[in-house]
Structure 1
């Protein structure tokens, strides 16, 4: 038999369970659930391919920080990822994908970021997604004029976000960082050469930086082994490219063969990424001097 006091106590317990102490039981909005599912799916793809992923606690527009790696070595570059989940069925290829409306100043910050920024749209119902890179979508002048106004960012169905895209983006960030670092070193060298007297220690330091960047990148793309030997793959590509060159001096033939083989090698080994001109030219020069330096001594350089 339950007394009145006990009945009241029982009702209090029941109310705490149904309403929670101090008010209603908090509910989790559907959009939060969709966002969490989308973020988990995107994070898993990066993790599956060996990259480290950190969740961003302070929300400044990015959800994930990706620390990429290659052959067990952590890269000196990072990728910021914003994930947008949707419950909308995006499986029909004839229909356009949902677009994002974002503040212009946020897009401007991403466009100016030294790190690669990627936005992923994830269809939680069909477990698939697409990505976009905000850099270059709008010129800085328009973004500055819009200030806090909003602009649209649209997704292209050809840019599916899957394992292949993860590797493509990792290589893109890797290449961008190497190219930017190399440009900085080369600029420092040119600046020092204009001084009188020339700071020899400074020139030597930045010359070594540039050389190490080029050599390390040559190893990354599979042109050389870590011990400095030419890989069998690159040797085959180089010989095949050389056979196609039927005119010019020895150095012209070698330069064109090197350029052709390096472009092909990077496409095959860097997840279908090309090489920026600075990296390509410097890599060509280093390989030519190291591999063919004695043979070509005394010849004029030309392409």
Structure 2
């Protein structure tokens, strides 16, 4: 029988204590209203972070009333805070303009980007029966814009920019009823924004047959939005690429987050993105090309990953 002395037990205990502990990192991700596509994306990100880190990165999702609230909360949040926002809104906060006028804070200058998300993509969806193939063809047609959403506001703006405001009839129908209204001929088309493939456009294309309007370079320039291409085959019957506009959306944190955590979040996101795309196709629209949408500074921990992975970064991002 082998006996252990006190000194031997003490040495063994010391060795166990000396073993490196697998630290668990916890962060809070504040995204959007529950039920929205960006809330769903946040849930998918949380699942991907847990899977990709073997359970060492735990993301808690918080519902948000919008990106303005997300940015505002950087004033009181700590180093575990992650949120989503369009880059233009972050720039407005730093400059104290728009929704942030009179609410300036040094905290806004400490916001740093991690990685891009699928963009809010404008879709002008016309029924095949309408015969409309370009924006000039909208004259005399009935269009559903919806109410209160980014897509509704953008759609109204584009009709004005293209000289169609008084030539198009706006349907008084909720966007949630767009597909039935299109199928029964109540409307000729509808405008929606969302990460592609957008569920309501998928349904319309499969059940009613639609044409997605493609913009010219001059039309894109007039909107002052980011140009985006919806690849051919994204929707049933879509035989060619569709040029449209988008509102970029990015995942942010602040300089309060340590570099290792920012590095782990960024690295895990990109390494898990392909798996996410297998079950949620909107992730397939995220690639290195969307890095151009990040107009402000990246977090140093994120920069470390991008340099290791061979991404090309701008001076403004570093």
Shorter-chain TM band? under 0.3
Structure with greater strand percent: 2
Q: Which has the larger radius of gyration?
A: 1
Bigger share in helix: 1
TM-score (norm: length of structure 1): 0.25
